[in-house]
Structure 1
Amino acid sequence: MPEFLTKRAGFWHYARRVPLAYADLDPRGVIRQSTKIRVADDPRAIRAQRAAERINGELEAFWRAAGTAEGAEAKARYDRARRDARRLGFPYITAVEVAQLPIAEILARFDVVAAAKPDDHAVEAAALGTVEPPALDLDGLFDEFEALMKPSLKGMSDDQVRRWQSPKKRAIANLRTVIGNKALAKLTRVDALDFQRWWIGRIEVEGVEIETANKDIGHLNKMLGKVENTHRLGLGPVFSQLRIEGGRTGQRTAFAPAYVQNTLLADGALAMLNPEARRILYLIAETGLRLSEACNLTAETIRLDDATPHVQVRPDGRRMKTEQSERDIPLVGVALMAMREHPEGFPRYRDQAAGLSAAVNKTLRENGLLPSEGHTVYSLRHTFEDRLTAVEAPDKIAAALMGHKYRRPRYGVGPSLAQKAEWLQRIAFRMPGTV
């Protein structure tokens, strides 16, 4: 039987029990509504299912709106009580906490209430703590978590913040799909197990990657843990130890250097890409830059006229992945050619590395230029590291070029540009169109 559909008096009817999360807002218990479609006219419920989906969408929108309005009203009452308490000279605390104060402080609060107008309930609420704090729920989880994490987001660009936000919001939205909006204090291990089972079902039926599910579980565990530590909700480790076993880390596969030279760098092979995208690929193939590092180069960090032409990887309004990511990379081969064509960088893709990656990977895949599912644009960085290994570049040189931490104590200023350029010349690709 299709979801939420039942047969009644020869017609298809929508029927759904009000989720527990909305039981206080909708007392009807079970919602029943005719689709007005006869079973005889639609025996497989194809049209009825579409009608049920429409009814269900409207109903869930109603529940969400009711919950949002109630939550907003409760928050407004609480915020007003806190402001009034400060105006009266008291910190706002709940009635339970007021009762635990020394008797002199309790009497001082009652004196303020007695001095107010008889019908001034706002003063009473502020002084005696009769307004309960609004309950945190799933809909407010991300905003609360983000507020607690603000210091750690300092220095991120807008795109980095967006990429930090998106998977966490998606995890909450997925959990909400399973259990509805629910007060955080009422979340249980059963809710978490239901969410895990929902993901297992998707993995089995839709072929979703196990690690996609585990990322959701991990984000929820971290967010709830942070909020729990701050607000003492009494949750316990609701989402801990729920990772689904059997997942893969998704390690990207390196291109063979010969494939890069003979296929990707063949004359005209990347003509389907626009000039900026094409030359960003040339740049990262030759330098091992991360895509975000290449996209955010500027006229100030592209040094073509220096004795050793090079690019400078700097924060420039972004947070660097690691401390070692800040580095100078000499330009040789196809990278030097690319940057001479774009001496001011790639404005079309500045702070848009994620979008460029998705678009280029899609284009390369559609044109048969990715040898396997494991290959992506980022594979060029793995290829770069393999090429350094093949010529036996010293670990200190390789770490300085890759932006990795050098595992031994650091002395001096590290390899010079000339030294790094010498090793890059040993692995430089030939120009497209040359033999």
Structure 2
Amino acid sequence: MKRFSPDLPHLYVRRKNFVFRLVIPTHLRDLAGKSEFKVSLKTKDNLTALRKYGEVEPYYQNLMEKLRRGETLTSASDLSYEEIVQMAAIQGRTYKPIDQLIQNPAEFMQTHNDWSKAGKPKGPEFQSYFGTATSTITLSGLVTFYEDDQIHLLSSLSARERSKKINPLQNAVKQFTAFLGKDIELKSLTRQQARDFHKSLKAKIASQEIKANTASKYITHMRVLIKTYKLAHDDETETAFDGLNFKADDNARPPFSIDFLNERWFKDDIFSTLNPCAKALLFAAIDTGCSFKELCGLNPEQDIKLTATIPHIIIQDNKNRQLKTTHRKRTIPLVGYSLKSFQAFPQGFTKYATDNGPSNASGLINKFMKNNGLLETDEHSVYSLRHTFKDRMRKHRLPEELQNFLMGHKAQGMGAHYGHGHSIEDSSTYLQHMCSDWKYFTPHAS
């Protein structure tokens, strides 16, 4: 066996096959239970060998560091479950739990032969062959694991959006571990502990400490975290929280009535003391049905089309924000109060085009409306405008498929996925008819 290159001290060639070999110093061999780390890279190709070397070398250097700290590698408990799974991958094998392995006798025998040829190693390496390692992750470690596993989805989110996604998961773990009185390993979690937590949440709902929706989120978030971890390790069994649910409160915001808006919002210029950008943002929501987040996230170069034959906006992914789901993408003709808003702010609502902008605008406008008697009830908020928009579409008998499209809701049935859908001309005609709701609307008023 000869070294491949002086610059790669642990890469060797044996009969044209590449091998990684890291000699363990004499004084550390008792801790390691062997004299060297050696693994075939299972290739004769130079480039493939170099790539695999880059993967293997850091792994075994990490094991060497454990030895230097006085940690033994002869016991399976000295390596985490993830490290044992990684050990199998580094050696060109796929880690499979023992219960899966024994279901395929031929595969089990092949694994046994490979283990024998490797010198029948013990400890963690034995576990990496026969899938006998168990998870050692704690409940508090599930969130970090989730972030790593879902990085392909989380990387596209802004810092605020990422926090809104991760913080509830962290809080759910915090609530559960506080109930248990300690952090525990996932493998020790029992169904009874989950049921006891569920029961304790029922008591809090009964005493009005929390709402059913809040309790339901705790359970759901724990289920998501555990399921994500299990699926990442080819474990499709149920979680301890499966089937433990709460009937959620119906806390949907009520819609504003058309009469209330006409008499309290539009009859007089009662919004004159609200800053112009906030007012325009609010009025843009009236005849588009969009949320503040969607409106504030518009890219003026790509998403605002005021000079088109039919002025419109496009709700789509852009550099400012990502959509929750693919069916949220839509083209909305501008009519009525919404068209006037965009004509006043053709570049969009730049004052609130930041991560916190939609929330800041919502807080400011809700406070203004509360102080000026512009909320129909205490249950109303700016988000109620989306519910009003939906009711108005029902009133004017827009096709249900078009209603779902304009709201950004997922269409029901296969029929909605055929053809090109409703044209922008048809959508504009329907929305123009809806403007008849506004008793005091003047298209050319300032």
Using structure 1 for the length normalisation, give the TM-score. 0.66
CA contact (8 A) 1:327 1:401 kept: yes
One-letter code of the match for 1:425?
Q
What SS is found at the alignment partner of 1:161?
A: helix
Query: Of the candidates 311, 328, 344, which is equivalent to residue 331 of structure 2?
Result: 328
- How many residue pairs are counted as aligned between the two chains? 349
Q: Which residue of 2 aligns with 1:145?
A: 146
How many angstroms does 1:284 deviate by?
0.7
Is residue 393 of structure 1 aligned with residue 395 of structure 2? Answer: no
Alpha-carbon distance in 1 for matches of 2:243, 2:186: 19
Query: Of the candidates 384, 387, 391, which is equivalent to residue 382 of structure 1?
Result: 387
How many angstroms does 1:183 deviate by?
0.7
Q: Deviations over 1:48-90 (max 9, x none)?
A: xxxxxxxxxxxxxxxxxxxxxxxxxx99888888888888x57
CA contact (8 A) 2:290 2:407 kept: yes
Alpha-carbon distance in 1 for matches of 2:236, 2:299: 50
Is residue 419 of structure 1 aligned with residue 426 of structure 2? Answer: yes
Alpha-carbon distance in 1 for matches of 2:432, 2:262: 15
Residue ranges of structure 2 left out of the alignment (5+ in a row): 1-76, 102-107
Residues 266 and 425 from structure 1, CA distance in 2 versus in 1: closer, same or farther, beyond 3 angstroms?
Answer: same
One-letter code of the match for 1:241?
G
Q: Which residue of 2 aligns with 1:228?
A: 230
Q: Which residue of 2 aligns with 1:243?
A: 245
CA contact (8 A) 2:223 2:241 kept: yes
Is residue 177 of structure 1 aligned with residue 178 of structure 2? Answer: yes
User: What is the CA RMSD across the aligned residues, in angstroms?
Assistant: 4.1
How many angstroms does 1:363 deviate by?
4.5
Q: Which residue of 1 aligns with 2:342?
A: 339
CA contact (8 A) 1:360 1:377 kept: yes
What SS is found at the alignment partner of 1:413?
A: coil
How many angstroms does 1:192 deviate by?
1.5
CA contact (8 A) 1:266 1:432 kept: no
Q: Which residue of 1 aligns with 2:52?
A: none
Residues 363 and 197 from structure 1, CA distance in 2 versus in 1: closer, same or farther, beyond 3 angstroms?
Answer: farther
CA contact (8 A) 2:335 2:431 kept: yes
Q: Which residue of 1 aligns with 2:165?
A: 164
Using structure 2 for the length normalisation, give the TM-score. 0.64
Alpha-carbon distance in 1 for matches of 2:222, 2:259: 43
Alpha-carbon distance in 2 for matches of 1:299, 1:277: 17
What SS is found at the alignment partner of 2:150?
A: helix
Alpha-carbon distance in 2 for matches of 1:248, 1:78: 40
How many angstroms does 1:188 deviate by?
1.5
Q: Which residue of 2 aligns with 1:214?
A: 216
Residues 138 and 354 from structure 1, CA distance in 2 versus in 1: closer, same or farther, beyond 3 angstroms?
Answer: farther
Alpha-carbon distance in 2 for matches of 1:418, 1:93: 57
One-letter code of the match for 1:338?
S
Q: Deviations over 1:229-271 (max 9, x none)?
A: 44478985411222234x3232221110122232234544335
CA contact (8 A) 1:324 1:403 kept: yes
Q: Which residue of 1 aligns with 2:282?
A: 281
Q: Which has the higher contact order (CA 8 A, sep 6+)?
A: 1
One-letter code of the match for 2:424?
L
CA contact (8 A) 1:109 1:128 kept: no
Q: Which residue of 2 aligns with 1:43?
A: none
Alpha-carbon distance in 1 for matches of 2:94, 2:331: 54
Residues 83 and 336 from structure 1, CA distance in 2 versus in 1: closer, same or farther, beyond 3 angstroms?
Answer: closer
How many angstroms does 1:210 deviate by?
1.0
What SS is found at the alignment partner of 2:137?
A: coil
Alpha-carbon distance in 2 for matches of 1:411, 1:79: 45
One-letter code of the match for 2:336?
G
Alpha-carbon distance in 2 for matches of 1:86, 1:239: 31
What aligned pairs does 1:261-410 form with structure 2 within 5 A after superposition?
261-265=262-266, 267-271=268-272, 273-300=274-301, 301-317=303-319, 318-350=321-353, 351-352=355-356, 353-404=358-409, 405=411, 408-409=415-416
Q: Deviations over 1:157-183 (max 9, x none)?
A: 554433322322221121122112111
Residue ranges of structure 1 left out of the alignment (5+ in a row): 1-73, 114-123
